[in-house]
């Protein structure tokens, strides 16, 4: 059985129950040192493309329709992502076999961000 998959803002303190900590943002978060982040890994390949990220955070705002469109486009990117995404997902699966895994993100919106969408997508696969 696979362990819990969690999400957490990278600016929050590290806690023992975080387990393996993976940053899933394309850009390194401002104001966070690598030591403070205490990462198991940085899985950039699992983050949305720059184009998709800029579209969602720039032009479309934070409406329900924009969020739904983002999640669908992001899922499409993940599904056609190729071997790099497959390796990153295998790394997450291996970590989950050993204990909890926390997906870290830097966005201010705790309910609508790529980590929330990624977690839902991964859980739908299993």
Beta bridge partners of 42: 23
Residues of the chain with pLDDT under 50: none
Q: What's the domain range around 64?
A: 5-125
Model pLDDT, residue 45: 96
* Count of CA atoms in the C-beta half-sphere (13 A) of 2: 16
- Give whole-number Cα distances, 96 to 42, 123, 126, in Å: 16, 12, 12
Model pLDDT, residue 47: 95
User: Does the model's pTM come out above 0.95?
Assistant: no
Model pLDDT, residue 56: 72
Q: How many domains are contained in the chain?
A: 1
């Amino acid at each position: 059985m696979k362990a819990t998959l969690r999400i957490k803002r990278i600016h929050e303190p590290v806690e023992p129950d975080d387990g393996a900590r993976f940053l899933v943002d394309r850009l390194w978060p401002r104001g966070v040192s690598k030591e403070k982040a205490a990462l198991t890994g940085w899985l950039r390949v699992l983050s949305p493309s720059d184009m998709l990220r800029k579209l969602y955070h720039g032009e479309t705002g934070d409406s329900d329709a924009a969020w739904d469109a983002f999640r669908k486009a992001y899922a499409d990117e993940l599904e056609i992502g190729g071997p790099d995404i497959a390796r990153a997902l295998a790394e997450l699966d291996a970590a989950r076999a050993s204990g909890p895994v926390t997906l870290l993100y830097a966005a201010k919106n705790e309910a609508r961000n790529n980590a929330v969408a990624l977690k839902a997508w991964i859980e739908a696969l299993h």
